[in-house]
């Protein structure tokens, strides 16, 4: 895989496929982590005299312009981080995009409007996707793939475009791949994996792989209740994927057979109502044993005994991969479990990887120093699919 150091970029129009898919409250960015992550690649290209064209998706518009998903706020924030003016094209391949990109001088930066405003970006039809990639290719001389959060998508700007231009991986993607190799090749043990998040179905494929590779798997978040159900416990009105119970039973049996510790919550915080995440009004949850959840209540975070247990299971780790919060971390009354796991990573001497998505957002929201962790990934889904052993279209295109 070539890197940007292998490209001669001075005076060239360099198309950077970034991941600026940041959370917005109206037009206010609530977490700029992904913009800050790709900024060093863009800054390096600027220093070397490239004309930098940055493109990304944001959210899931329906293949047509939607002001709610405009990248304009991300373009403004990128300019603030870079310390220079960043031009903004109000379309992807139309008059504005052509005018803005043609007007760039060496060392200047432009951001195109949301790629998903064009149906060709996400089309499953190769011809339609390819036609959009042709239009994007006409804007640039070189391609740099640095949107790790999108490399598991077979989209025009991720998969088709790098096949049409001289291409290389950006520094962010190179760093992400190097870290993920540390989780799959010659792993320092004990190898501990902490998995959370809402749905167990989102993590089944990676659990299937990790049962063969990890020494311990700690489970929290909404997905824990399907495992607790598989163990024969009642879970009240907690999030439950009943159809996944047989698969959870199978994984528990495989883990036991292989000697992998599969650790589930021993206590949980429960309430009859989901917390108000806007007002953050006090929720006053109860703490109950994991096998004694009342019929009219749902589990919303791991309890204090589980936090201590998980911290102990992380303490002697050589490598830790954490993906998914332990509870509804956005509310202070249910942030304790996620905070305890994050602190457990920091208190260990392990090589620690925070697997993107909500975990990365939680680290920032809860006030942890990002630099204290070994690596914070920008791609939750991409990280998981890499660990599952899948071929990621965006990486494959950069390797060709």
Catalytic residues, which ones?
34, 199, 357, 381
Q: Are 216 and 261 within 8 A, CB to CB?
A: yes
* d(C-alpha 357, C-alpha 378), whole Å: 7
- Phi/psi at 322 (5° precision): -120, 125
Token pair belonging to 298: 């749902």
Q: Are 73 and 29 within 8 A, CB to CB?
A: yes
* d(C-alpha 213, C-alpha 267), whole Å: 27
Q: Residue 16 in 3-state DSSP?
A: strand
Strand order in the sheet with 261-263: 261-263, 216-219, 191-195, 319-323, 351-354, 375-376
Q: Which residues pair with 51 in a beta bridge?
A: 13
Place of tokens 């304009």: 72
Query: What does each C-alpha distance from 368 to 113, 170, 362, 376 come to in angstroms?
Result: 32, 26, 9, 12
* d(C-alpha 319, C-alpha 149), whole Å: 22
Q: Are 121 and 112 within 8 A, CB to CB?
A: no
Q: Are 61 and 116 within 8 A, CB to CB?
A: yes
Evaluate the CA torsion angle 158, 357, 2, 398 in order and state its sign: negative
Q: Where are the alpha helices (DSSP H) in 183-285?
A: 204-210, 224-230, 245-258
- Phi/psi at 24 (5° precision): -125, 145
* Cβ partners under 8 Å of residue 51, min gap 6: 11, 12, 13, 14, 101, 104, 105, 106, 107, 108
Rounded CA Rg of the chain: 22
């Amino acid at each position: 895989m070539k890197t940007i150091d292998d490209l001669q970029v001075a005076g060239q129009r360099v198309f950077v496929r970034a991941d600026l898919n940041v959370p917005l409250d109206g037009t206010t960015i609530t977490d700029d982590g992904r913009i800050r992550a790709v900024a060093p690649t863009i800054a390096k290209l600027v220093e070397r005299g490239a004309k930098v064209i940055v493109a990304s998706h944001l959210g899931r518009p329906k293949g047509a312009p939607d002001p709610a998903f405009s990248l304009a706020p991300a373009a403004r924030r990128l300019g603030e981080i870079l310390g220079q003016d960043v031009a903004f094209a109000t379309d992807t391949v139309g008059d504005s995009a052509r005018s803005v990109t043609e007007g760039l001088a060496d060392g200047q930066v432009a951001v195109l409007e949301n790629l998903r405003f064009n149906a060709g970006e996400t089309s499953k039809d190769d011809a339609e996707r390819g036609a959009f990639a042709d239009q994007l290719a006409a804007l640039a001389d070189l391609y740099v793939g640095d949107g790790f959060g999108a490399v598991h998508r077979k989209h025009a700007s991720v998969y088709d475009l790098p096949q049409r231009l001289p291409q290389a991986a950006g520094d962010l993607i190179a760093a992400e791949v190097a870290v993920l190799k540390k989780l799959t090749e010659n792993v320092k043990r004990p190898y501990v994996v902490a998995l959370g998040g809402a749905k167990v179905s989102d993590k089944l494929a990676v659990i299937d792989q990790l049962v063969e590779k990890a020494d311990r798997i700690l489970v929290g978040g909404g997905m824990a209740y399907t495992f607790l159900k598989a163990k024969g416990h009642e879970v009240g009105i907690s999030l439950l994927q009943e159809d996944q119970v047989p698969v959870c039973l199978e994984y528990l049996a495989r883990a036991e057979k292989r000697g992998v510790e599969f650790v589930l919550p021993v206590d949980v915080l429960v309430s009859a109502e989901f917390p108000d995440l806007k007002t953050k009004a006090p929720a006053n949850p109860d703490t109950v044993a994991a096998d004694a959840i009342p019929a009219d209540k749902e589990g919303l975070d791991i309890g204090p005994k589980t936090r201590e247990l998980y911290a102990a299971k992380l303490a002697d780790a050589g490598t830790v991969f954490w993906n998914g919060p332990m509870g509804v971390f956005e509310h202070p009354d249910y942030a304790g479990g996620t905070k305890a796991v994050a602190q457990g990573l920091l208190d260990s001497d392990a090589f620690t990887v925070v697997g993107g998505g909500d975990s990365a957002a939680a680290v920032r929201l809860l006030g942890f120093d990002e630099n204290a962790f070994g690596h914070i990934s920008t791609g939750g889904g991409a990280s998981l699919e890499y660990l599952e052993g899948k071929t990621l279209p965006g990486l494959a295109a950069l390797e060709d």
